[in-house]
Structure 1
Amino acid sequence: MKFNYYPETDSLYISLSEKPSTDSQEVSPSIVLDFDSEGNLVGIDIDHASKVVDLTRLEAEALPINSIALAK
């Protein structure tokens, strides 16, 4: 999972997969979900991100990350 913030457009993109997006669906005025060709969610686009989410802090809790993955 990758988080990309674009200050010039104040948008936050959360990549959930390396697969390309082939379809998108706006689920609210500032949130667009991207899907691959099989209908799987691959990304979340948040417009006006600084007004929608707290960009000053990123936390992760109880993720099943092992020490080998962190070493890469």
Structure 2
Amino acid sequence: MLVRVDKEADAIYLELSNEPIESSEEVSDEVILDYTADGRMVGIEILQASQKSHADTP
């Protein structure tokens, strides 16, 4: 698994597999799941990540 953080876009992407993404589905407000052609999940994108975190950040 690979975790990518884009501070400028305020987004986090959890890459579960490097397989090609065939479709995406927004499952809740600003949380998007990416799937292969046969329906396996390959990634999770969280937008506005800093607003969804409970961690204290400097």
* TM-score, structure 2 as length reference: 0.87
Q: Deviation at 1:43?
A: 0.1
The CA RMSD measured in Å over matched residues stands at 1.6
- In the alignment, structure 1 segments of 5+ residues that lack a partner are 57-72
Identity of aligned residues (%): 38
Give 1:23-62 correspondences, 5 Å limit. Answer: 23-53=23-53, 54=55
Segments of 4+ moved more than 6 angstroms: none
Residue aligning to 1:21: 21
Give SS of 1:17's match. coil
Query: Is the helix fraction higher in 1 or 2?
Result: 1
Query: Is the strand fraction higher in 1 or 2?
Result: 2
Give SS of 1:20's match. coil
Work out which of the two has the higher radius of gyration on C-alpha atoms and give 1 or 2: 1
Work out which structure has the larger RCO, using CA pairs closer than 8 Å and 6 or more positions apart in sequence. Answer: 2
2:4 counterpart letter in structure 1? N
Alignment length (residue pairs): 56
* TM-score, structure 1 as length reference: 0.71
